[in-house]
Structure 1
């Protein structure tokens, strides 16, 4: 079985693209994909079956490409960035396996989730296996700083998961609280992925900080665009069916904004939909209409643009390289998915 770099290169309606990033990292990504297949292997038959089920299901592989490009940006020429990029992808894959169990999700990218095929227990345990493999590769690299960055990210992501679980279906959650959740759940791995490249390349503290800030704010923008796409996008851009967040009762920023801006009757509707699970097709249509009426989707995209601007400013002072230009275009690409 082969695992390729799966990206959307449809530029018909979008000027921004991940194509420059893909091209700059293609040779290294081929090595990452080989390492993924090698490290996902096990004598326990179920482990590679479950790992390959998710790994082959598609996705942009954006996080490991960030690691590779950020290392290249500072002239790195060894092979540690390949191991770290693979670690990043395994961390992401493990998170998806765990997320699907916590969220009780049936589908991911149009395919049955691993938990629906092999069960919750196997999904959690294979996620743990992949995390273990990720940490073994980090140790192989031998950089205490890189190990610290990625292990801290793993801890923060887990905290974000628990935080989200505690806030789940609570309509009194504020925008600030929600942003803290996605900063932990999503942005922490983007941040770590972008920072470990400069670390092993021997970049300065200021350069490391710039890439860390870039990653954090790109991750926030990326998640907020995903939030908006669930109510106004298409399955191709989102990687799942539109409306899935609503049907699963997920509290996202468009919901929070529409709830807080709505009338008393509208707030009762939201409580029924999110807290009580009354979320069929008719409710989804009404929810989308309320979001449009109160500008919730547009303002979510506006927040995403704001964080995208912060990411852009973070690396603005760095020397101009093809990798820097590709990273800047990634910001535009992430946001243009909802245009």
Structure 2
């Protein structure tokens, strides 16, 4: 289908947490479609493909909820939410190339469909477009927050890459990694929404840390689901992290809590990658309580996120943010 004949950009089916910002969310969808416009058809084709692939759009949702929770009445939050989604999408395109992934959210990845070079370059386009929109928002403070976030995210991705195949990665290093590669953009989304709305210093800090803890909770559950999730619901295969040799918290805790023989097998599985030892590793992470431990840490992060919301005025927007924190640990995909 030619790029100029692409159907309207649509997000995943709306959920109750989206309802309070439904009109804003629709405006974000329209802005995404408009900002994907390019004189190069392949840019629009790949951009539409990855953005329409069924994501929850949680990061732009955080911008909208944070701004509205502080009674923001302008319309720049729509632009801000859109550019945050473009930043996220660009990282997905790049990550799938780095990880040599073939499946995301149940669909072929862009690199699988079009190849690595177009995926990387369209990721660059989306990233660059996000900075164009950032200038349009016109806030130096927001530019400072988001430009710093992009550096932290890139560092987190590199740190994750250096951890691959390393069974000596400890829990501290793991949390540093997921803080950079995942939680940072959640944090930047809610933080920048607060700045846009003219938050007090206390409110700004609350929304910054809310996003951070929410992002950590989401990543912890993602890593948990890799060992007990449903492949059809997740849109990826159980054991993908193990296949890539990623030492996530379930494996780190299994090595710490297991017998020497169990730890030795998990170490070997991380070093070698692949799925040869998947069944044995699945049994070990269950027997050692590593999955329960990972869930407990996720619940701890979600509880911290909820604590931050107590500094905000009561509203339907704050309630939706609270529900989002609870959803982070209750989801199955």
**TM-score category (smaller protein):** over 0.9
CA distance in structure 2 between the partners assigned to 1:35 and 1:236 by the alignment: 31
1:338 is displaced (CA, Å) by 4.8
CA distance in structure 1 between the partners assigned to 2:58 and 2:273 by the alignment: 33
CA distance in structure 2 between the partners assigned to 1:242 and 1:63 by the alignment: 25
- Unaligned 5+ runs, structure 1: 10-17
1:160 maps to which residue? 156
1:15 maps to which residue? none
1:3 is displaced (CA, Å) by 2.4
Trace 1:298-313 onto structure 2 (pairs within 5 A): 298-313=292-307
1:69 maps to which residue? 65
CA distance in structure 2 between the partners assigned to 1:202 and 1:303 by the alignment: 32
2:114 maps to which residue? 118
1:96 pairs, out of 80, 84, 92, with 92
Determine if contact 1:312/1:331 at 8 Å carries over to the other structure: yes
1:172 pairs, out of 147, 168, 171, with 168
- Superposed CA RMSD in Å reads 1.5
Determine if contact 1:259/1:270 at 8 Å carries over to the other structure: yes
**What whole-Å deviation, never above 9, does each CA across 1:182-206 have from its counterpart, x for those lacking one?**
0000000000101111211111111
Determine if contact 1:198/1:207 at 8 Å carries over to the other structure: yes
For the pair 1:55 / 2:40, whether they are aligned, the reply is no
1:106 maps to which residue? 102
TM-score for the superposition, normalised by structure 2: 0.94
For the pair 1:6 / 2:12, whether they are aligned, the reply is yes
What SS does the corresponding residue of 2:20 show, helix, strand or coil? helix
TM-score for the superposition, normalised by structure 1: 0.93
1:329 pairs, out of 320, 323, 331, with 323
2:215 maps to which residue? 219
Determine if contact 2:165/2:273 at 8 Å carries over to the other structure: no
- Unaligned 5+ runs, structure 2: 1-6
1:335 is displaced (CA, Å) by 0.6
For the pair 1:23 / 2:29, whether they are aligned, the reply is no
Determine if contact 1:226/1:238 at 8 Å carries over to the other structure: no
Determine if contact 2:164/2:244 at 8 Å carries over to the other structure: no
1:2 is displaced (CA, Å) by 2.3
CA distance in structure 1 between the partners assigned to 2:114 and 2:107 by the alignment: 13
Trace 1:143-154 onto structure 2 (pairs within 5 A): 143-154=139-150
Determine if contact 2:250/2:285 at 8 Å carries over to the other structure: yes
1:94 is displaced (CA, Å) by 0.5
1:236 is displaced (CA, Å) by 5.3
Determine if contact 2:163/2:246 at 8 Å carries over to the other structure: no
